[in-house]
Amino acid sequence: MALEVFKCGNCGARVPPPSTSVKMVVCDFCGNPGLNPFFIEPPPAAAVAHAAPVPHVAPAAPVAHAAPVAHAAPVAHAAPVARSAEEVARLAQVHLKVFDSLFYAPAIPPKKEQGARGSYGAMIPADNPILALYDATVFGGADDGFVITPRRLGWKNIGLDPKVITWAAFDVGSVGTSNDAVKVMGDEIQLEVSSELQGRLVQFLRAMGAPAPAPAQAAAPTARVVATPAARPVPVAVAQPTAPTTPAVKVQRPDAVKVTPLLKVKRPVAAEEESDDEAYDEETVQGWIDDTRGLAEESLTRSASLYIAPNIPRDKVAVAFQTHAEEIGEDDTVVVLYDPAGGGADDGFIATPWGLFWKNRGEDPHVVWWEDLDLDDVALDDGALTIEGEAVRINRQDDGLADELAAFIEAMVDWAQSEE
C-alpha cells in the first residue's frame, strides 16, 4: 500500500517519503530538510556468539602497506547569488514599475501586508520584510497574489495553497510564461489578465537569477580607447522602395508612452571629423550605454521575448553580432534584444547606443543610426511599424510592442540629436 504524504514544514509542498527506512527527507521544491514521520527504527541486532579465544601467536614481521590513495578534493559548487535588501528592492522597482494593486515598501498598506502574512504564516518569518506586494484579490485583502522579500519569493493563487521559495534555491531556467501566468520552479503565478505585468515579472525574475554586479573599485577606471563612429564600417546600401500611393501615417506620440530621458548626456561629436583616430574614453561610452538602458527600461515592457542588458543571454548576442556583422562594430554594446522566434536571435531587432538593427525572417538585415534618422521616416499604422519604408516585424502575441518600440526610437533620436 502506498505511503501517505505529508507537507514540507517550510513551503507546504506535499513530500512523499521514499520508504520507512529513510530517516531524513529533503523537499524537492524548496530544498528544506526534515524528519520522515514514517521512519521505523530497526530492531537491535542479536548478539553474536564469540568463539573461544585463539592462543596468542607472535606476529610476523609487519607487511609494508601501500600509501593511502589521495582522494580528489570535492568539486566546489557555485555559491547562490546573495543580494542586499536594497538591491532586491531596486530590481523590483526597475522591472515591475508602477502597476495597479502593486505596492512597494514602505508604502504597503498595513492591512494588505497583514492579509498577505496571514496566508503564508511561518513560511515568511516576521523579521523578513516584504519589499513588494501584488494584491490579486477583488476586495483588497491581499491574501492572493505574490510578495517579494530579501530572501524569498511567495505566491498564492486563488483557491490554492501558498508557495514560497528562497532566492538561494531559485532556478532562473524554470522561468517562462503560460497564458496569463508566469512559470517558476514547476508552478505558476497567476496574474488574471495582467499581460503587461506578466512580462515585467519575467524580467524581474531573470534579473534575480543573473550574477550579482561586482563591487565598485575604489581606483578610478583606466581610460580605454574605443573606436569612433566614423571608423565603423559603412552600412550596406538598401534599395529604397517606390513611393506608396497612400502616404504613410506618421508616428503618433500619445502621452501614455511618451518618455523623458533619465540621464540626459548628449552624444559628443568629434571636433575634427576627418580624423579616423578620434576616440572617446571609456567613461563617456559607458554613459551612452547607461542612457540607452534607462530609456529602454522606461519604454519597453510588454514582451517576454524582449531582453534588456545586463540580462541578455550571451549566445543570443553572439548570433545577433554575426547577423549584423557588416554594420555593427566590434566595440558596440547590445542594450536591447528582441527574439521573436525564441531561438538563436538571428531574426528580430537589437538596439545599441549607436543605432537600431533588425532582420525579418527571410530578408536581409537593416540598420538606422540614431544621429541620422529622421522621425518623419518612422511610421506606425495599426500596429505595423516601418522605418524608412522597411517593416520591423513584431509577433502578434507581442501586441503593443510596436507602439513601445516607436516611443523608444523617438526618445533615442531626441537623445542623440539633442543640442547641448
The band of 57, judged by pLDDT with boundaries at 50, 70 and 90, is: low
Q: How many CB atoms lie within 10 A of CB 56?
A: 6
User: Do 341 and 266 fall into the same domain?
Assistant: yes
Specify whether 196 is located in the same domain as 285.
no
Confidence bin at 319 (pLDDT 50/70/90): confident
pLDDT range class, residue 84, cuts 50, 70, 90: very high
- 154 and 249, same structural domain? no
**With bands split at pLDDT 50, 70 and 90, how would you rate the model's confidence at 119?**
very high
pLDDT over threshold 50, residue 417 = yes
DSSP conformation class of 154? E
Per the structure, the count of domains in the chain is 2
Q: Span 180-193, mean pLDDT?
A: 87
Residues 194 and 237 in one domain: no
In a domain, 18, yes or no: no
Do residues 318 and 384 both lie within one domain?
yes
Which structural domain, as residue segments, surrounds residue 306? 231-417
Q: What is the pTM of this model?
A: 0.40
Say whether both 243 and 299 belong to one domain.
yes
pLDDT given at position 14: 65
Residue 64 domain flag = no
**pLDDT for 55:** 56
Residues 288 and 322 in one domain: yes
Pairwise CA distance, residues 420 & 412, whole Å: 15
DSSP 309-327: TTSS-HHHHHHHHHHTTTT
Q: What is the pLDDT of residue 82?
A: 76
- In the listed set 154, 178, 209, which residue is the last one of a domain according to the structure? 209
- The b-or-e profile of 325-350 (16+ CB within 10 A means b, else e) is eebbbeebbbbbbbbbeeeebbbbbb
Give the pairing type, strands 14-15 and 6-7: antiparallel
pLDDT at 352 over 60: yes
Show which of 149, 178, 209 is a domain's final residue.
Answer: 209
Query: 240 with 343, same domain?
Result: yes
Judged against a pLDDT cut of 80, whether residue 149 lies above it is answered with yes
Based on the domain organization, do 262 and 205 belong to the same domain?
Answer: no
pLDDT, residue 316, reads 86
Q: Identify whether residues 273 and 311 lie together within a single domain.
A: yes
Claim to verify: residue 235 and residue 198 sit in the same structural domain: no
Q: Give the pLDDT band (50/70/90) at residue 74.
A: very low
Kindly state whether residue 292 falls inside one of the protein's structural domains. yes
Residues 250 and 123 in one domain: no
pLDDT of amino acid 204: 94
Nearest 5 degrees, angle CA 190-CA 9-CA 157?
10
